[in-house]
Amino acid sequence: MRVTSPEIHEGIKVSELVEMLGKTAFNARRIGEAAKICEEMVKNDSFVFLTLAGAMIPAGMRKIVAGMMQNGFISSLVTTGANVVHEIVESLGMGHEIGSCYVDDKALAEENVNRIYDVFVSQEAFEKVEEFLSGVISELEGVYASYEFLWEVGKRMNDESSFLRIAAEKEIPVFCPTLHDSIAGLHVMIYRKNLQIDFFRDVSRIIDLCFQKRKMGVIVVGGGVPKNFTLQAMLLAEGFDYAVQITTDSPQWGGLSGATLEEAKSWCKLKPDAKAVTIYCDATIAFPLLYAYLLDSLKENQ
């Protein structure tokens, strides 16, 4: 097959463009390949984990996560405490502002504004998070896994766009192995009375999910703890059948976020014949393209 230049036309659908990219080269082709793998894993009724690291929620990716849950494209989410906190910020109506990386950070501090590269979030937003979470935490008693605790948080969300609310409604496990490494973790420590978070219950649950007798898939956005927590759960099972990774890191530094999916096969976290591709691209570009492709390709076939 020859490399084919995309035939861009007026009114082109995103899914058409992604399909065309699969016939080009470099990371454009990888986006096209990843889209096909994601489509196949969903069509085959696979159990699909989405792992989400980095500042994806402040960057505006929350409705994509929510949409993938709502449409049945993912079966479980593994994310960081930071993304959970910023999801609560959004759900409480505070939001994140378009800012700039070319700014006087000392001046921002004086104005009680926090910066995440080119995104601003006010200190007031975190005060609202504390007010909300303190109420939730003080109501709960007993031992919870992180996903059980986040279901309780989601049940109390009024925002219909909240992926925590959708997860609670659909009983989709949202694992947060770094919950304690976040503002939410600080609030659990401060306001808990008879509440305990048992992270080993998360480990037990995710391993059980990996032992299901069905096709298993994973979409890795970023890397870090969410990636490792999910892939290591397969050490005792048979390995993933499908894997897509979006990262801006590279493998030669030895870090997990840049580790290739081929390397994961050496650990038997992926099956030897697993369909897998890594996209070296900003996730804020690649992730929405994959979701748009899935919406078009899978909804058209329903």
d(CA 220, CA 248): 12
pTM of the model: 0.97
Q: What is the 3-state secondary structure (H, E, C) of 22-36?
A: CCCCHHHHHHHHHHH
d(CA 284, CA 270): 25
> What's the CATH number for 47-95+121-276?
3.40.910.10
Task: Give one DSSP letter per residue of 234-245, joined into a string.
Answer: GGSS--EEEEEE
Core vs surface per residue 171-204: b (16+ CB within 10 A) or e: ebbbbbbbbeebbbbebbeebeeebebeeeebbe
Q: How far is CA 117 from the centre of its chain?
A: 19
For residue 4, what are its two tokens? 């084919």
For residue 166, what are its two tokens? 């959708």
Looking at residue 298, what is its pLDDT?
A: 86
d(CA 144, CA 204): 13
The residue written with tokens 């306001």 in the block is: 191
What is the widest separation between alpha-carbon atoms in the chain? 65
Task: Give one DSSP letter per residue of 103-165, joined into a string.
Answer: S-HHHHHHTTEEEETTEEEEHHHHHHHHHHHHHHHHH-EEEE-HHHHHHHHHHT---TT-HHH
Q: Where are the domains of the chain?
A: 47-95+121-276
Give the list of residues 6+ apart from residue 212 with CB closer than 8 angstroms, or none. Answer: 47
- Residues annotated as catalytic are 269
d(CA 297, CA 172): 23
Could you read off the pLDDT tens digit of each residue along the chain, which spans 302 residues? 899 999 999 999 999 999 999 999 999 999 999 999 999 999 999 999 999 999 999 999 999 999 999 999 999 999 999 999 999 999 999 999 999 999 999 999 999 999 999 999 999 999 999 999 999 999 999 999 999 999 999 999 999 999 999 999 999 999 999 999 999 999 999 999 999 999 999 999 999 999 999 999 999 999 999 999 999 999 999 999 999 999 999 999 999 999 999 999 999 999 999 999 999 999 999 999 999 999 999 876 55
d(CA 160, CA 215): 30
